[in-house]
Each structure stands twice: as structure tokens, then as C-alpha cells.
Copies of this chain bind each other. A is one copy, B any other.
Amino acid sequence: MRQMDNMDQATDDWTARFPGLARLERRIRDHLLDRSHVTDLPEGSVIFGPGKSPENMLFLLDGAIRVQQVSETGREIVLYRIHAGESCVLTTACLLAYDDYSAEGIAETPVRAAAVPRDVFDELVASSPTFRTFVFAAFSKRITDLFLVIDEVAFQRIDIRLAQKLIELSGGRNRLETTHQRLSVELGTAREVVSRQLQEFQRRGWIAQTRGTIRFLDRTALERLGED
């Protein structure tokens, strides 16, 4: 499930890449670096999921992890992503063996992360105020993000959400390589709904579509729609 690569940790202070850990006490930081492993995971790795609890808490150095949920009905929805500079707090939730929730974390790109064993995590929370702040801030951010997801799923129109998601996923580029199916999972809706909305965007001259890619012809129009 996972491959571990030990690195020369003395020369690679990965904590510097985490804003919240920049001011970590020197002694603490050294302990953390000493007791953690930097790990590389290929794209598509399942970091955690039903029946797969990780033993370590991850601090993402590069890449992104997508956390999504599969409903009993088979439909899926993307809950959030963890990007470089963020930690995988859900792992701790998982570590605590809370009953089998259906969420899973998947490496969306090749991922490099620092793996911190559970006991080390606990020691750090106990001994470092800075680390505590970091951890609670991470939890808070997740929870408020989930509030936002709930708000959008419950109350936002699908055309608006789709426009927002297209802009978000494009990351500034003017084309997006994805399928209607994948977009429907992002929004927790049905593929046909996405297809129809994209047809409408195309009819309005905002995008052009070919199999597997969407080109933006009028990004501003999409952004306007996405602003409510």
C-alpha cells in the first residue's frame, strides 16, 4: 500500500514549507524531522479508505490528495482536497478508529509527504503550543470547508456550481482535461446533468468541447455566473 523512502532528513527541513510550522520550537522541529519519514506515493494511491486506516499522519510536501465519499447508492462526491503545505487531519480521525466511514483519500497526482507516526504526533501536540495551533487550525479549516460544501450541495443551483468548479479546476489555464463523469462526481450530481449544463454553456459560446477536454472561450462569463 505504501512505499517508504528514507531521506537525508538533517539537510531537508520540510517543516519550512508549512506556514503554520515555521515558528516551531527548534527542539520540537528536530524531533519531528528525526521521527518522520518523507514518502513518495504514485498517483492513484489510496491513502485511506474503508478498511484502510493509515498508521501515520501525513504532511503534504508536493501533490494533492482528493477526499471523496461513495454513497450506498453508488453515487460519489468530492468532499475536499489536501494540497502541498497542508496536513491530513482526517488521518487522525481515522487513527482514532471512528467507525467505518465511507470516505477515501486518493493521491490525485504523485505525492510527496512526511509521515508522522501516531505516537510522535501525540508527543508534539503535548509539547508544542505551535504544533497544537497548527493542528487545531487544520481541523477548523476542514470543518468550515465542510460547512461550505453542505451549503452548496443543499442550496446552490447546479449551473452556478458547475461554472465555479470549471474555473477552480482549470487553475488559470484556458483548457480543462476531464470528463463529464468526473465533473459530476466533483459536484455530487449525475453525469447527464453535467452534460446538459455544458451543452448550454457551449450554446452560449462560453466553452468548446471535445472528447475529454473543455476549452474556455469566455472565461469571464463563467466567472460572472459563478459569483451567484
A-B contact pairs, 8 of them (CB 8 A): A71-B151, A73-B155, A79-B147, A90-B143, A93-B143, A122-B129, A122-B132, A125-B132
Determine whether A1 belongs to the interface, using a CB cutoff of 8 Å to chain B. no
Question: Does any Cβ of B come within 8 Å of A139's Cβ?
Answer: yes
Task: Select one of B126, B142, B149 contacting A132, CB under 8 A.
Answer: B126
Query: What is the 8 Å Cβ interface bit string for chain A, positions 121-153, against chain B (1 contact, 0 not)?
Result: 010011101001100110111111011111101
Contact of A103 with B by CB under 8 A: yes
Minimum distance in angstroms from A143 CB to a CB of chain B:
6
As a 0/1 sequence over residues 78 to 104 of chain A, the CB contacts with chain B under 8 angstroms (1 = contact) are 010000000001101100101101110
Of A102, A149, A153, chain B has the most CB atoms within 10 Å of the CB of: A153
The A interface is mostly helix, strand or loop, or mixed, namely helix
- Give the CA-CA distance A90 to B143 in the complex, in Å: 8
A82 to chain B, nearest CB (A): 14
Chain B residues with CB under 8 A of A154 = 71, 75, 77, 153, 188
Give the interface residue-count category, chain A: 35 or more
Residues of B within 8 A of A153 (CB): 150, 153-154
> Chain copies in the assembly?
2
Contacts known (A79-B150, A126-B127); A98 close to B144, Cβ less than 8 A: yes
Roughly how many angstroms separate A142 CA and B228 CA in the complex, as a whole number?
A: 29
What are the residues of chain B within 8 A of A150 when measuring CB–CB? Answer: 69, 77, 79, 146, 149-150, 153, 188
Bound form: Cα–Cα A144–B149 in Å? 14
A122 to B146: give the CA distance in the assembly, Å.
Answer: 25
Expressed in whole angstroms, the Cα–Cα distance for A141 and B79 within the complex equals 16
Which of chain B's residues have a CB closer than 8 A to the CB of A132? 122, 125-126
Interface: A8 (CB within 8 A): no
A185–B133 Cα distance when bound, in Å, is 34
Q: Which residues of B contact A151 (CB under 8 A)?
A: 69, 71, 77, 102
Q: Which residues in window 189-227 of A have CB below 8 A to B?
A: none
Cross-chain contact B92 with A136 (CB below 8 angstroms): yes
Give the shortest distance, in Å, between A186 (CB) and chain B (any CB): 12
**Given A77-B150, A90-B143, 10 other A-B residues pairs in contact with their CB atoms under 8 A:** A72-B228, A75-B154, A93-B143, A96-B137, A101-B147, A102-B147, A122-B132, A126-B126, A142-B143, A150-B153
